[in-house]
């Protein structure tokens, strides 16, 4: 016999709590990548080949968020982190909370990482690589690594079409590519991060130990310490007390293992009174004898100051620029 009261209660409950349709993982912005985020932090803490491979293997399975604008055809177009001199990067985010509130994009796309990697590889003449959580972790996959991932994925697909099982492959960089990869990670990641985090303490240590300190930091940043190629004498550090409230340190980096964009020199400026600093770079430019004057800000924005002055005028130009902003 049907219990009318129970039936009535069930009908009422179904009206009050209607079942929600299943969420399409390809469309939702509520992306969860906890394991990926753990592996990113693990790799940032200890940069070695095993951690990098584990990170890439997890990335292959992940969907990430990409800010986008809407074009005239009403289609979303991914936004790039823009730098004039082929220094644009494809930004991706592991979760919605990683995306900055400002500037706000017109849309957010949910994309598989492998699609991002393929789009970046197709734009290798215009892009420098992929930036993962650029405003927090700021993990950069430079173009050589992006292309290597693309090559491995192409072989996986070919094997799958042939009915074979793709062999698990370890991404390998040539010795030259590896040194260039480490150099960029240091110049545009590790060193500015340490500088902005430690401020005055960093500058005190740099002024005291000079070349030995830069060499120590560079080796600390290296994934595989045994492959670290430099000595303190490969660097040059010049300390300039421009004013009571302005200290500038120029760091000249090794001439070998350069591939655009790499830094010939870095200027670190610190205003002790205000407790603020600036990080300026003199960078090589691909397929050009010109050099670029760039800057990384505290919030990880890359500023392009245009073509760097010729070497004889460079130092005074940089000093004038820094005095105008920090004094």
Alpha carbon distance 162, 153 (integer Å):
14
Residue with tokens 């890359």: 302
Based on the fold, state whether residues 136 and 212 are members of the same structural domain.
no
Of 161, 184, 216, at which residue does a domain stop? Answer: 161
The CA distances from residue 298 to 278, 279, 301, in Å, are: 8, 9, 7
Q: Report the pLDDT value the prediction gives residue 22, as an integer from 0 to 100.
A: 44
Number of compact structural domains in the chain: 2
- Going across the sheet that includes 63-70, the strands are 76-78, 63-70, 107-112
- For 9, other C-beta atoms within 10 Å of its C-beta total 11
Question: Does 301 reside within a domain?
Answer: yes
- pTM check: above 0.85: no
- Going across the sheet that includes 88-92, the strands are 88-92, 127-132, 139-142
- Going across the sheet that includes 236-243, the strands are 236-243, 246-252, 263-271, 276-284, 291-296, 302-307
Show the low-confidence residues of the chain (pLDDT under 70).
Answer: 1-27, 83-86, 163-172, 325-327
Q: Which of 47, 77, 319, 54 is nearest to 186 (CA)?
A: 47
Based on the fold, state whether residues 213 and 265 are members of the same structural domain.
yes
Q: Report the pLDDT value the prediction gives residue 20, as an integer from 0 to 100.
A: 45
Question: Does 102 reside within a domain?
Answer: yes
Q: Report the pLDDT value the prediction gives residue 7, as an integer from 0 to 100.
A: 42
Based on the fold, state whether residues 137 and 65 are members of the same structural domain.
yes
Q: Report the pLDDT value the prediction gives residue 191, as an integer from 0 to 100.
A: 95
Domain residue limits at 246: 200-224+231-326
Of 161, 185, 214, at which residue does a domain stop? Answer: 161
């Amino acid at each position: 016999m049907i219990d009318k009261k129970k039936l009535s209660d069930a009908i009422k409950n179904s009206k009050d709590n209607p079942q929600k349709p299943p969420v399409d993982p390809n469309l939702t912005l509520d992306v969860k990548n906890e394991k990926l985020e753990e592996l990113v932090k693990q790799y940032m803490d200890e940069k070695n080949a095993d951690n990098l491979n584990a990170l890439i293997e997890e990335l292959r399975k992940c969907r990430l968020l990409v800010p986008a604008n809407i074009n005239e055809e009403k289609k979303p177009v991914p936004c790039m982190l823009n730098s004039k001199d082929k220094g644009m990067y494809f930004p991706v985010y592991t979760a919605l909370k990683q995306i900055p509130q400002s500037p706000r994009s017109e849309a957010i796309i949910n994309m598989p990482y492998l699609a991002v990697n393929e789009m970046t590889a197709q734009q290798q003449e215009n892009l420098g690589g992929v930036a993962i959580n650029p405003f927090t972790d700021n993990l950069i996959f430079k173009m050589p690594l992006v292309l290597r991932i693309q090559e491995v994925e192409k072989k996986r697909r070919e094997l799958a079409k042939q009915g074979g099982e793709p062999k698990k492959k370890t991404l390998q960089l040539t010795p030259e590519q590896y040194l260039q990869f480490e150099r960029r990670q240091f110049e545009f990641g590790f060193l500015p991060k340490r500088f902005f985090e430690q401020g005055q303490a960093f500058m005190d240590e740099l002024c005291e130990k000079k070349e030995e300190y830069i060499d120590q930091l560079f080796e600390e940043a290296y994934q595989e310490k045994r492959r670290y190629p430099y000595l303190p004498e490969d660097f040059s550090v010049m300390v300039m007390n421009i004013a009571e409230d302005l200290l500038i340190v120029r760091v000249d980096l090794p001439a070998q293992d350069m591939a655009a964009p790499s830094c010939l020199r870095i200027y670190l400026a610190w205003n002790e009174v205000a407790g603020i600093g600036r990080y300026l770079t003199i960078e090589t430019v691909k397929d050009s004898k010109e050099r670029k004057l760039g800057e990384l800000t505290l919030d990880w924005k890359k500023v392009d100051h245009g073509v760097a002055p010729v070497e004889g005028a460079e130092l005074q130009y940089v000093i004038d620029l820094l005095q105008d902003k920090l004094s």
